[in-house]
Structures are given as structure tokens and as C-alpha cells.
Chains A and B, each alone.
Chain A
Amino acid sequence: MEQVLFRHNRPDRSVTFEEYCAEGGFDALKKALTAMTPDEVQQTVIDSGLRGRGGAGFPTGKKWSFVPRNLPGPRWLICNGDEMEPGTYKDRVLLEKNPFSLIEGVTLASYALGVRHAFIFLRRDYETAAANLQAGIDAAKKAGLLGERILGTEFSCDIDLHLSAGRYICGEETALINALEGKRPNPRQKPPFPAVKGLWGGPTVVNNVETLANVPAIIANGAAWFKGLARNPEGAGTKLFCVSGSVVNPVCIELPIGTPLREIIDQACGGLKPGKKFKACIPGGASTQFLSEAHLDVPMDFDPVVKVGSRLGSGAIIVFDEGHCLVEATLNLIKFFARESCGWCTPCREGLQFVKEILERIERGGGEERDLDLLRDHTRFLSYAFCAFAPGAMSPLDGLLANFEDEVREHITRKRCPLKG
């Protein structure tokens, strides 16, 4: 199976700068700077069908194209490495194994966008990845692949590493921009969108780590090659899947996008732990809907997962077995979201507290029939929150009510958690 992001990985350590270069690393940058215009780089990314790997799946090239071409003043690129969605650890693994694809990808994107100064925003707890990245940036700079007049061309670009201090909301792109500016990381009102008015008021593109790490291979091998990597006809490229929960071998693995969910769980992860039976999984991190056994054959790509009522999200698959109470699992997720809410808007700040109270009560055996309607009201009306945080927080609850309503009802009618003695 073709590896794009993990191609240079060593089993027990990070790839070195020399190894990366020897295996064709930075060839894409050389190709772009010497033989391609910025527009051609952007067009190649558009043609490749690359979609954002952070969770929303927005077409990357299209996002770049929103940046006004002739606006005066600096423009910015931010790589979003604030990987704090529970269940998600793909970017950490990627960066601990190989920081260079990202560095090259950021440089290529900066070239396409006319960015002089790019930031990589990493979450607080990724110290190893950060050290790895900083060493990589220093090595690239020393080799003339970053900094002033890269490879002797007119193009100059610097990358600054910014380590956060921990808050899930910093991963929301406008909150991230506030965080970088040293303001309270509340999301900003859109419009204006960051592509027009972002960091310090300048046009700004925010892309995920995995997204940008894909760019060098796309430039090196072309859009058609990248599209051909997918398992499903409408897909493009590979995807990092990071699995956790009740599987034998919880791995972070690169597979063609569109690989069926069942195959990932059964083959890549060795199936459920001994004696455990599959009950449900979250396909794309904490802010996606639970899927049941009936959905296991879904191709893991953006649109097919939406069709079965969930989202591909970050590709973080969390597997639950028959011994897990899904009301309690949802409660755990809601507690996370309630704690991580930035506190800006009412539905998120107070609505999540309300949902938490209801789920706690149901789990304790104090649930009432009317709570189901109340929960449904929340899944519906929390979508009118200020940013995508609260709607995302409602996804697991939405999935719970859609696919496992019986389990919730059982809590209410038996006045206790059926999985607890």
C-alpha cells in the first residue's frame, strides 16, 4: 500500500534530515520554486482534490483561492497543530516520525499564497513533536530551504513554532488566530473570514498538519496520482487513522482514504479485544456521531460517512464494546466539551451544562421520559451557537439518540444504568 505521509518513517525514531532528502525530500519544493508559478502550485492542489484533514474536510486549494491576490500588507499561513480532539493523535505521530514533510508543505503553501511568515501552532503537550519540528526547521534553514532567498530564488519564508498552553477551542481557526495574537482565544465573528481578515487583520490561511504534510507529495507526483491513491472513486489521497478503545492493537496508520471502517478495525487493529463484542464507534474524534454495527462497511471518506449520519472528522476512531454504557460515554464527551467551552456564547456555555445535568441524571437512574425531548431540543438548538464547537459537541448525543435510543430508554424505564449492577 502506497504511503505518502508515513513513507519516510523509521520504526523506532524520527527520520533524519539527510535521510529525508535522500528519499526525495524537498524535491517538490525545488520543483515548485524553479519550474512552477505560485498559481500553478495552487492549481495542482485544487486539482488533487485534497480536503482539509483537521475535521471539516474543506477543499484545501479552494480555501487558498479565497485569499485576495492583490491586497497590500502581509499575509499569513498558520498550520493548525492544536490537536486536542479526544481520540485524535495522528498529527503527533506524524510529527514525531517526520517533521520535514510538514516543513516542506508549509513552505510550498507559503509560496503558493505569497506568505513571508508562517506559523505552526502546536498544542501544549506535544513537546517531543515540537522539539523535532524545531530541529527540522533549523536544519532546513541551514540548508537554505527556509529563510531568506530559498534555493537562491526570490522567495523567502520563515516558519515560527508557537506552543499553546492548552485549550481545545484554540483549534477553531479564528480562536487560534486570537491565541496567536496573544488575545483570549474566543472565536471571532465570521464574516470577515480569515482568508480576507485574519491574523493581525491580514489575509490568513489556516490548514491542519496532515493537510499541509500532503502537499509535497502532491506537487512531486501530480494531482492525478494523488487522486488515484483513494479506495473510493470520489476520494483523493490517503488518510491517517488513529484508533483507540476496545481493539487489540490501537494504531495510527496511513491507509487509502475510503478504506472501509470494518477493515480498519478488523485488519489494521486486529479486531476487538479478546472476549469483547463491538457495540459502537466514533469515526472521527469526539465531535462526531456514534456509528453502530450496521455502519461498519462505510468507506472512510468525507461524503460516505456523512451519508450514514456521522463525519470523517479527524479520522480518530474510538471503539466501544458491549461492556461500555453509551450514555456514560456521551456524558464523558459532554463533560469534556462543557469544560472546554470558551464561555463566549450562551448555548455552548449553559446548554452544555444543561445536557450534562440531564445525562448525569439519566445515568444515575433519575431520568424522565421528557428528558429525551429536552435532549433533542439541545441537539437542534445548540447548532445556533456562535461557532462550530457546540454543534460538534452535540454530535455524539445526536448519534446516541439516532442509533442507541433504546439504551437511553432502558436507563429511564429501569431507573438505573443497565450495565451497572
Chain B
Amino acid sequence: MISEQLKKSLQQRVETAITPREAAVDVMKELQRHYGWLTDEAVGEAGELLGLSPLQVEELATFYEKIYRRPVTGKLIQVCDSISCWSGCCDGIIEHLKKRLDVELGGSSADGKFTLVPCCCLGRCGDAPVMVIGETFYGNLTPEKVDQILEKER
């Protein structure tokens, strides 16, 4: 369930859009911010706000990389696996993260603090390899640095 306040602000967003669909991505992102991921309930709510069927919301939600239709527990760690980070050995960083958190990509750590996903180029290639935890970027990663960051973010 979303609050009346959030519902109202989303309704407002839809009303000011040129067509309701234009607001679809914004509505999905706001609901995702609320729930942590786009739950089935959120899909239904988005549909009601936008005048779309749940399937029509699903068509959009599942297209985008950063709309999550599977549970995200705790903070989301996105670690870049694209070419610049690859050249800076992101593979090692990813393996290190998997080991430290004891998860596979897409999984959540046992303590519920982190969910680890790979992502494509984050546009911070000068700082490769990079990851983002929540909304915070971390660059020039080394295994040691990753340990410190996890400690801080935990």
C-alpha cells in the first residue's frame, strides 16, 4: 500500500503529463523507491494510476534494466561489468564481492543488508572499476577498498 500523499503526488505527475503513458517510467521509479523493488502490488498500483492493465505495466517494467521485478533486499550494489571497467579488472572485483557477501549475482546477502547485481556502463569510466551502492558511487576499486566500503555501508 502506498500513502495517500505519494498517491496524490503520482496522480499529479500523471495529470501534468502530455499522455498518462508519458509518466509511466516516473511512476514506476517512485513506486520502486517506496517498495525497494517493483512488487506485484506496485505494478497494480502503477496500472491504476496510469490507466493501464498490469500486463501493460509489466511490458514496460521488464524492459528497463533498473526497474526491479524481483526482490531487492537492503542496499542495492550495482557493479559495472562493461568494457572500461573490464579493462580495469572488474571481473576480480565482482568475484571479490560475491565471495565477501557470499551471494551469486542477483542474490541478497544472508544478513539482508545487500543485494548484488551486475550493471552496464555507469558513465564513470575514468574511475574504472566502479560500483554504486544505493545512490553512492565508488570508483577505482580494489579488493581492499571494496572491503572498507562494505564495512562503511553495512
Direct contact of A and B (CB under 8 A): yes
Of A125, A165, A340, which one neighbours B123 at CB under 8 angstroms? A125
Of A125, A126, A244, A336, which one neighbours B87 at CB under 8 angstroms? A244
For the complex, what is the distance from the CA of A250 to the CA of B67, rounded to whole Å? Answer: 31
Is A182 a contact of B19 with CB atoms below 8 Å? yes
Among B31-62, those with CB < 8 Å from A are 50, 59-60
Of B24, B81, B86, which one neighbours A182 at CB under 8 angstroms? B24
Of A84, A182, A251, A339, which one neighbours B21 at CB under 8 angstroms? A182
List A contacts of B119 (CB < 8 A). Answer: 166
Closest Cβ neighbor of A282 among chain B residues: B83
Is A200 a contact of B121 with CB atoms below 8 Å? no
Task: Given A167-B63, A167-B64, check contact A123 B83 (CB 8 Å).
Answer: no
- Say yes or no for B72: interface residue by CB 8 A criterion: no
For the complex, what is the distance from the CA of A85 to the CA of B121, rounded to whole Å? Answer: 7
List A contacts of B67 (CB < 8 A). Answer: 165-166
- Say yes or no for B1: interface residue by CB 8 A criterion: no
- Say yes or no for A301: interface residue by CB 8 A criterion: no
List A contacts of B120 (CB < 8 A). Answer: 84, 86, 166, 168, 336, 339-340
Is A86 a contact of B29 with CB atoms below 8 Å? no
Is A166 a contact of B126 with CB atoms below 8 Å? no
- Say yes or no for A211: interface residue by CB 8 A criterion: no
Stretch at the interface among A87-95, A147-155, A189-197: A87-95
Closest Cβ neighbor of B59 among chain A residues: A184
Task: Given A86-B120, A181-B22, A182-B24, check contact A164 B64 (CB 8 Å).
Answer: yes
Of A163, A184, A336, which one neighbours B82 at CB under 8 angstroms? A336
- Say yes or no for B25: interface residue by CB 8 A criterion: yes
Is B125 a contact of A88 with CB atoms below 8 Å? yes
Task: Given A165-B29, A318-B84, A318-B87, check contact A244 B126 (CB 8 Å).
Answer: yes
Is A182 a contact of B25 with CB atoms below 8 Å? yes
For the complex, what is the distance from the CA of A339 to the CA of B24, rounded to whole Å? Answer: 23
- Say yes or no for A246: interface residue by CB 8 A criterion: yes
**Residues of B within 8 A of A (CB-CB), count:** 38
- Say yes or no for B113: interface residue by CB 8 A criterion: no
Is A182 a contact of B121 with CB atoms below 8 Å? no
List B contacts of A167 (CB < 8 A). Answer: 63-65
For the complex, what is the distance from the CA of A341 to the CA of B48, rounded to whole Å? Answer: 30
Closest Cβ neighbor of A337 among chain B residues: B120
List B contacts of A164 (CB < 8 A). Answer: 25, 64
Task: Given A165-B67, A244-B84, A329-B86, check contact A125 B122 (CB 8 Å).
Answer: yes
List B contacts of A316 (CB < 8 A). Answer: 125
Closest Cβ neighbor of B135 among chain A residues: A127
- Say yes or no for B101: interface residue by CB 8 A criterion: no
- Say yes or no for B132: interface residue by CB 8 A criterion: yes
A21 → chain B closest CB, angstroms: 28
For the complex, what is the distance from the CA of A245 to the CA of B127, rounded to whole Å? Answer: 9
Is B86 a contact of A166 with CB atoms below 8 Å? no
Is B128 a contact of A244 with CB atoms below 8 Å? yes
For the complex, what is the distance from the CA of A252 to the CA of B125, rounded to whole Å? Answer: 10
For the complex, what is the distance from the CA of A100 to the CA of B86, rounded to whole Å? Answer: 34
Is A165 a contact of B125 with CB atoms below 8 Å? no
29 sampled A-B residue pairs with Cβ under 8 A: A86-B82, A86-B83, A86-B120, A87-B83, A88-B121, A88-B125, A89-B123, A124-B65, A124-B66, A163-B25, A164-B25, A165-B25, A165-B28, A165-B64, A167-B63, A168-B120, A181-B21, A182-B23, A182-B25, A242-B125, A244-B84, A246-B87, A286-B83, A318-B125, A328-B86, A329-B86, A332-B82, A332-B83, A342-B63
7 other A-B residue contacts (CB within 8 Å) besides A318-B84, A340-B120: A182-B20, A183-B21, A184-B59, A184-B60, A318-B125, A335-B81, A336-B82
